[in-house]
Chain A
Amino acid sequence: MAASRRCNVSSENLTVNDVKTPKIDINGKVDLIIQSKKHANDVFDVLEYLQSEKEKNVVCAIDGCTKLFSTLLERGELYVGQLPKEELLIGGDRSADEKYCMFMRHRYNGCLELLLEHISHESYQIKESALCALMQFASMEGKFPLQDLDWSEHYSFPRELIQAVVERLLSQEEDMALLISRFQEYLDMEDVRYYVMSSVRENVGRVMDKTKGAVMPIYQNNVFTLLSNINMPSQESELTNYLVKQEAKHEDWKAAKLKEHKRTFERLWLGFLKYKLPSSMYKKVLVILHDSILPHISNPTVMIDFLTAAYDVGGAISLLALNGLFVLIHQHNLDYPDFYKKLYSLLEPSVFHVKYRARFFHLANLFLSSTHLPVYLVAAFAKRLSRLALTAPPAVLLMVLPFICNLIRRHPACRVLIHRPSGADEACDDPYLMEEEDPSQCHALESSLWEIQTLQKHYHPDVATAAMAINKPLSQQEDAISELLELSTYELMERDLKHKQSKTVPLEFDPATQLLQGSGGVGVLGLNFSLE
């Protein structure tokens, strides 16, 4: 019956289409269905629109469906409980009302399926509408459950629906970042978040097991996006916002307990990080680890393995792992042997050029702010930094030079690096060993910071001035480097231009006659290049 009906509708549809706009059509039909059971069959037309090619029609249909089924759910006109097969519907001895409810329930299920399909539609608008509709249904279902609530332990929450939505969201083929950010609105609700977290964990476990732990960039990216959008509450009292209100035994509900949230969150992350991640994902995780993951994990020490492994990777990943490690060391009493040795080995020329430079130096500043560090260690850091400064761009130098000066200020015993009156007369080679990995063996304390003296001849006036600081006893006050951390060359340039100009601009007095003429000293450009 349904098939024939559908045919009729489609033929009818064409004629109707010419007469009315689909929107009015859909709305009219939805109203009719809601008004009386007579027009129940019009639901097919509405569902037909749901499959339409036109984006506008689909959106309208989704709205219509939302309205229709929400009303039906509210009225309880959808069949509750185990649903018999549709084929069996015609036969059997059921009352007309019951049949109607079953019929509608079947349509409702069909609608849900269509909507779930639409989540992976190519049009974002449809995706968004479908998602919203699904969440609306979820909320209605929570209020008017479609299952029998016979046993007392049951809390009404449309778990299956949420699970299905999550599965769709964590697509393996498509980047769902936009939709997930739309979904974040629902993630603010405690119960949704709780169930989403548990479904994501199941999903991740299932999917990753299927691929045997191989890297799946898109999927993992989606998971990460979803995870990073989860904002965990920090206090029990903040758990107030629910999609579905539970009348009975609210206190015992898992979704209402922060501890449960934390545990689920922890398991979720552990489940996610268990598998091999692409390196870009590694960095992303490490970037948010310290402030959006670690505080919400019930037992942060479980992250130690992950962090130490990351710290040993080297390069930028190590730099990033540093932050998480810092939290663990600082707040959770982690004893990391050779931490400073490791930190020392992280100092490489590239450290001045990476994106996470500011974060690294912020942390390094923190680590080295302790006054209980041995002098040789601080001297080694100062010496190594100044050696590396020979390859650094000016914006970094403006930060590193005060950094080194601060080190010497905190540890007055390091002053010999810039002031050794005993050996003032004799010249010597630099005893510092750059290749030595152990700071205690690198003879930094016997050396001097000639590199900074070299930088006094740096081309940028501010750098040269900053380097001049070592010529005189350092002032007691430490330099504030926090605002220098993020300085970029362009900002430096702008600063130069804003620099109040002297009355006159000095000019070159050698008159220029040709393009490749040498300026200042030799015309290197003219020697090596020709005007072609």
Chain B
Amino acid sequence: MGKPPKKKNLADKVRKTKTSTEIKNNPFEVKINRKKFDILGRKSKHDVGLPGVSRSKAINKRKETLLKEYKTKDKANKFIDKRFGEYDTKMDPEEKILQRFSMERQRTQDKKDMYNLNEEEELTHYGQSLSEMEKLNDMVDSDDDADEKGVLSAELTASHFGGGGLLRRKTQGEKDNGGNQRAKSRQELIEELILKSKQEKRERQNQKEESQVLTEKLDQDWKSIQGLLAHKNAPKADRLEEEDKPKLDEYDMMVRELGFEMKAQPSEKMKTPEEVAREERERLQKLEADRLRRMMGDVVEDCTKTQAHMSADDLNDGFILDGDEKPTLAYQVRDQAGSALSGKGPGRLCLVGEGTKLDGKWNINEEGAKIEGDDEEEGGEGESGEEESGGEEGSGEDSHSDLDSEQESEGGEEEVEEEEKDEEEKDEVPATKSQLSEEERKAQAEAAKTELPYTFKAPESYSDLKGLLQGHPADHQCIILARTQKCNHPSLAVGNKLKLQKLFGFLLEYVGELASRSPPELSTIDKIIPQLYGLCQLFPEAASKAMQTTLVDSAHRMEEVLEVKGRAAFPQLDMLIYLKITALLFPTSDFRHPVTTPALLYISQALTKCPVMSLEDVTSGLVLCCLAVEYISFSKRFCPELINFLLGVLHLAVQDKTSTGYSVVPPFRQNGKVSDLLVLSDPESSQTWSKKTLPLSATQTLTLTTDLDTDHYRLSAVATCMDLLKHCSSLYRELTSYSHIFQPITTLLSKHLPIKTYPAALQDLHGEILATISGSLTSRPLLVFQKKKPIPLKLFTPKIVEVLDYGKKRGNTKEEREKERLNHKYKKEFKGALREIRKDTRFLAREKLNEVMGRDAERKRKVKELFGSLATQEGEWKALKRRKNSRH
């Protein structure tokens, strides 16, 4: 009713009245596009066209847009229909109405029901409240009442107002149920009909009543049963209904909480110790395999090239299988820790908590040791903690250890805490160990620890670090470092990462200084090692860089001295310590490693270029040899300098140097003023000798007062040398030139070394080495080239090239093709637009013509009308005239 009736042309009418299939089947509507060639497998969209349909569509569209524009052309005023969705073609009319209705409701409701919280919106039907209607329905015999009321009222009005016969009759006639008139012939029939209908009505009413009663009864029954049925929910539900708001809120909160809480996830079952041990072993095996792969380097197989070098650290990150295993391990540990803690209660000081926790941890480690080696267990925990913390730096970690331990004892499942715990634990294991090893000092240390502040600023320079650590015993220095590390964890602040990276460099420097003090404070260094290891695990790049710098600086110094003098002094103790730390922090078995390879070169340089001038030098050299052996012991790589040096050292112990069946290699000389360094001054002194480890400080200063001491020291050096030889002789068994490598040493040992004057232990060692060397195979197959891999046959399967766009390809490069494509598209669009514009103009012209024609037709009609009226007027006038004339 609101819309103006659409003016439709014939085509539209046809189209509207017929379904689409009908149109498609109509041969007059369909135009078939003839194809020149049939191409298999190609689907063409345009084989059939419906020109009529598309034309009418186009015309309609123009009518809606272009025509409207044309009509409103040169008009300033515009009629805008502001009804919702009026111009939205996408909306269904029903939807439109619904939306409008709801908006209407909202508009009316908003103000009225602003403070009405629970009230639902009132539903209406034809403007009447539905609820009210329902109430009416519920009322028994409401219909009748209304009816009878109506009747009564009619009667009443009749009686009251008296009423005219006409009126009365009229109403009764209208109603058709008045029927009390017997005056007419068919009065009885009608009466009967009325009676019948009344009866029917009554029956219906009774039925309704009954059903009403039944329903009510059923309701009551249900209510009584409902209590029984919903007994579980009942109390809460009842309370909810009964009690006032606060209770309800609580419940709501609970519900909501439950809703928001993470869904229960299937958790891993607790693992048995065997399983844990097995997984640990698997992890280690994996790491070991990785180490082996790196050891082989990229020379053996090409596959290593495709597999990027990954650090042990990285491996674990990618090692998803680990994910389930590590937390479990930690969980177990934590659980036990929790039980250990439980006696203490939750409300304790942070520090005490820390202390007790440590004890707990240590116990756990011991328990772990039953499963596997103590070290390995520790390693596992430390490792996992380390690695995960490395990976999850983003996770908020705080240093409120008491909070952690509380959560821990409660068994909170958050992994972050776990890792943190692990890390802490790792850091503090050595400290605790020392505490436990000295029971009496434990309490004292505890007391002292309380004196230490809990937070430390990360040192900005080396002197800061020194200031921080100065004057504290080794244990405390360790704690300070651990706390510094924790307070400045990378996840806590932005700059912390850099600070800790710098800390590694400072620590290294500090270690160097400790080592170069006299006497060197090696036990302190020993305590710092775990800290260094921890930092190194956190920042491998920075650590390797710092280590490299240290090595290169020292090597550069040595090189400068070498260029001037041709020989250099042995590296100082700090360098020896650095080399050892390198071996602890980085894998020494890698085929090529950015730190350990230069370190090994440094050792080699020192062993070849530094002449042995004193017993201190012998000691330094032996330390270097030990390091070299450690570096290569896993990979069993061949180090010629090591053998040369050991030979040279043994040569120092040979008395008669005139006719030897071997030749020593520089820096040693066949004979010279210091070539008798290890010759015993008194053969008798070997009687009183017992095997002792050499002190590391002897590389710097050696104070031997008596000849006996000196001789003992010499024997110890020889013993160390022989021990190293033993290691080497077993390490290099696989080498093809084994016998040639050890040939000079065999000669020296068997013919020249005054072994008779040496103590029994050394003689045993001597025999062992010779047995090992002589026990090796001297013969081996002649060399042949490796068998070439057969060249695979040429394959003739077609080379498949992916074609992304079909059709003609102009241009070779991607850019050219793209340009071509765009050009083509532009052309197509341009043509299309041109066509559309033409159609538009044509349409407009047609419309204009229509308009003109319409106007002309109107004018014609009007003119005709005028002429008509004029003609009649004229006719009438003439007739009148004639009549007048006739009258006259």
Is B782 in contact with A420, judged by CB distance below 8 angstroms?
yes
Is B379 in contact with A523, judged by CB distance below 8 angstroms?
no
A391 on interface, CB distance cutoff 8 Å:
yes
Is B782 in contact with A428, judged by CB distance below 8 angstroms?
yes
Q: Which of B555, B586, B634, B640 is A521 in contact with, Cβ under 8 Å?
A: B634
Shortest beta-carbon distance from B282 to chain A in Å:
14
Is A524 in contact with B540, judged by CB distance below 8 angstroms?
no
Is A525 in contact with B623, judged by CB distance below 8 angstroms?
yes
Taken together as a complex, chains A and B put the C-alpha atoms of A484 and B567 apart, in Å, by 21
Q: How large is the interface on B (under 10, 10 to 19, 20 to 34, 35 or more residues)?
A: 35 or more
Is B379 in contact with A355, judged by CB distance below 8 angstroms?
no
Given contacts A454-B741, A517-B584, contact A350 B665 (CB under 8 A): yes
Taken together as a complex, chains A and B put the C-alpha atoms of A417 and B785 apart, in Å, by 11
Shortest beta-carbon distance from B701 to chain A in Å:
12
Shortest beta-carbon distance from A252 to chain B in Å:
51
Shortest beta-carbon distance from A435 to chain B in Å:
9
Taken together as a complex, chains A and B put the C-alpha atoms of A499 and B597 apart, in Å, by 11
Q: Which of A423, A455, A458, A501 is B781 in contact with, Cβ under 8 Å?
A: A423
Is A529 in contact with B695, judged by CB distance below 8 angstroms?
yes
Is B540 in contact with A419, judged by CB distance below 8 angstroms?
no
Q: Which of B426, B525, B626, B778 is A529 in contact with, Cβ under 8 Å?
A: B626
A 406-432 contacts with B by CB, 8 A: 417-421, 423-430
Residue in chain B with minimal CB distance to A525 = B626
Residue in chain A with minimal CB distance to B597 = A496
Stretch at the interface among A68-76, A184-192, A504-512: A504-512
B844 on interface, CB distance cutoff 8 Å:
no
Is A430 in contact with B584, judged by CB distance below 8 angstroms?
no
Residue in chain B with minimal CB distance to A528 = B720
Taken together as a complex, chains A and B put the C-alpha atoms of A517 and B375 apart, in Å, by 11
Q: Which of A390, A453, A501, A525 is B580 in contact with, Cβ under 8 Å?
A: A525
Stretch at the interface among A148-156, A359-367, A466-474: A466-474
Shortest beta-carbon distance from B309 to chain A in Å:
4
B117 on interface, CB distance cutoff 8 Å:
no
B 519-548 contacts with A by CB, 8 A: 519, 522-523, 525-526, 529-530, 532-533, 536-537, 540-541, 543-544, 548
Interfacial chain A residues near B589, Cβ < 8 Å: 520
Taken together as a complex, chains A and B put the C-alpha atoms of A271 and B747 apart, in Å, by 48
Is B297 in contact with A464, judged by CB distance below 8 angstroms?
yes
Is A506 in contact with B533, judged by CB distance below 8 angstroms?
no
Q: Which of A420, A502, A505, A518 is B586 in contact with, Cβ under 8 Å?
A: A505
Between A468, A472, A488, A497, the greatest number of chain B beta carbons within 10 A of the residue's beta carbon is seen for: A497
B53 on interface, CB distance cutoff 8 Å:
no
Residue in chain B with minimal CB distance to A454 = B737
Shortest beta-carbon distance from B325 to chain A in Å:
15
Shortest beta-carbon distance from B374 to chain A in Å:
10
Is A524 in contact with B308, judged by CB distance below 8 angstroms?
no
Interfacial chain B residues near A468, Cβ < 8 Å: 299
A515 on interface, CB distance cutoff 8 Å:
yes
B696 on interface, CB distance cutoff 8 Å:
yes
Interfacial chain A residues near B417, Cβ < 8 Å: none
A 54-72 contacts with B by CB, 8 A: none
Taken together as a complex, chains A and B put the C-alpha atoms of A517 and B314 apart, in Å, by 24
Taken together as a complex, chains A and B put the C-alpha atoms of A465 and B537 apart, in Å, by 30
Is B643 in contact with A391, judged by CB distance below 8 angstroms?
yes
Is B590 in contact with A506, judged by CB distance below 8 angstroms?
yes
Stretch at the interface among B261-269, B601-609, B872-880: B601-609
B382 on interface, CB distance cutoff 8 Å:
yes
B649 on interface, CB distance cutoff 8 Å:
no
Q: Which of B312, B586, B630, B635 is A524 in contact with, Cβ under 8 Å?
A: B630
Shortest beta-carbon distance from B305 to chain A in Å:
12
Given contacts A460-B601, A504-B311, A524-B630, contact A393 B529 (CB under 8 A): no
B748 on interface, CB distance cutoff 8 Å:
no
Stretch at the interface among A44-52, A279-287, A443-451: A443-451
Is B781 in contact with A427, judged by CB distance below 8 angstroms?
yes
Residue in chain B with minimal CB distance to A514 = B526
Is B299 in contact with A465, judged by CB distance below 8 angstroms?
yes
The total of chain A residues at the interface (CB under 8 A) is 85
A527 on interface, CB distance cutoff 8 Å:
yes
Residue in chain B with minimal CB distance to A506 = B311
Q: How does the 8 Å CB contact mask read for B755-789 relative to A, with 1 for contact and 0 for none?
A: 00000000000000000000001111111111010
Shortest beta-carbon distance from B365 to chain A in Å:
12
Q: Which of B593, B724, B740 is A451 in contact with, Cβ under 8 Å?
A: B740
Interfacial chain B residues near A530, Cβ < 8 Å: 693-696
Shortest beta-carbon distance from B298 to chain A in Å:
9
Given contacts A461-B597, A507-B312, A520-B589, contact A528 B780 (CB under 8 A): no
Is B626 in contact with A524, judged by CB distance below 8 angstroms?
yes
Given contacts A391-B640, A394-B604, A429-B778, contact A505 B426 (CB under 8 A): no
Given contacts A420-B783, A472-B785, contact A499 B594 (CB under 8 A): yes
Shortest beta-carbon distance from B562 to chain A in Å:
8
Taken together as a complex, chains A and B put the C-alpha atoms of A510 and B588 apart, in Å, by 12
B508 on interface, CB distance cutoff 8 Å:
no
Given contacts A421-B784, A506-B310, contact A353 B604 (CB under 8 A): no
Residue in chain B with minimal CB distance to A508 = B587
A329 on interface, CB distance cutoff 8 Å:
no
Shortest beta-carbon distance from B512 to chain A in Å:
13
Q: Which of A392, A394, A509, A527 is B383 in contact with, Cβ under 8 Å?
A: A509
Residue in chain A with minimal CB distance to B633 = A521
Q: Which of A350, A389, A511, A528 is B626 in contact with, Cβ under 8 Å?
A: A528
Interfacial chain A residues near B586, Cβ < 8 Å: 505-508
Residue in chain A with minimal CB distance to B640 = A391
A 285-339 contacts with B by CB, 8 A: none
A38 on interface, CB distance cutoff 8 Å:
no
Given contacts A353-B666, A525-B580, contact A390 B630 (CB under 8 A): no
Is A490 in contact with B597, judged by CB distance below 8 angstroms?
no
Is A459 in contact with B782, judged by CB distance below 8 angstroms?
no
B454 on interface, CB distance cutoff 8 Å:
no
Taken together as a complex, chains A and B put the C-alpha atoms of A489 and B602 apart, in Å, by 8
Interfacial chain B residues near A369, Cβ < 8 Å: none
B566 on interface, CB distance cutoff 8 Å:
yes
Known: A394-B601, A420-B782, A511-B386. 4 other contacts (CB 8 A): A458-B640, A470-B783, A519-B631, A530-B695
Interface residues of B (CB under 8 A from A): 287, 291, 294, 297, 299, 308-314, 375, 378-379, 382-383, 386, 426, 429-430, 519, 522-523, 525-526, 529-530, 532-533, 536-537, 540-541, 543-544, 548, 551-552, 555-556, 558-559, 566, 577, 580-581, 583-595, 597-598, 600-602, 604-605, 608-609, 622-623, 626-627, 629-641, 643-644, 663, 665-667, 693-697, 720, 723-724, 727, 734-738, 740-741, 777-786, 788
A-B contacts, 22 listed (Cβ < 8 Å): A394-B601, A419-B783, A427-B780, A430-B740, A454-B736, A457-B636, A457-B637, A464-B299, A493-B605, A496-B601, A505-B311, A505-B586, A506-B586, A509-B383, A514-B430, A520-B587, A521-B633, A524-B630, A528-B724, A529-B626, A529-B696, A529-B720
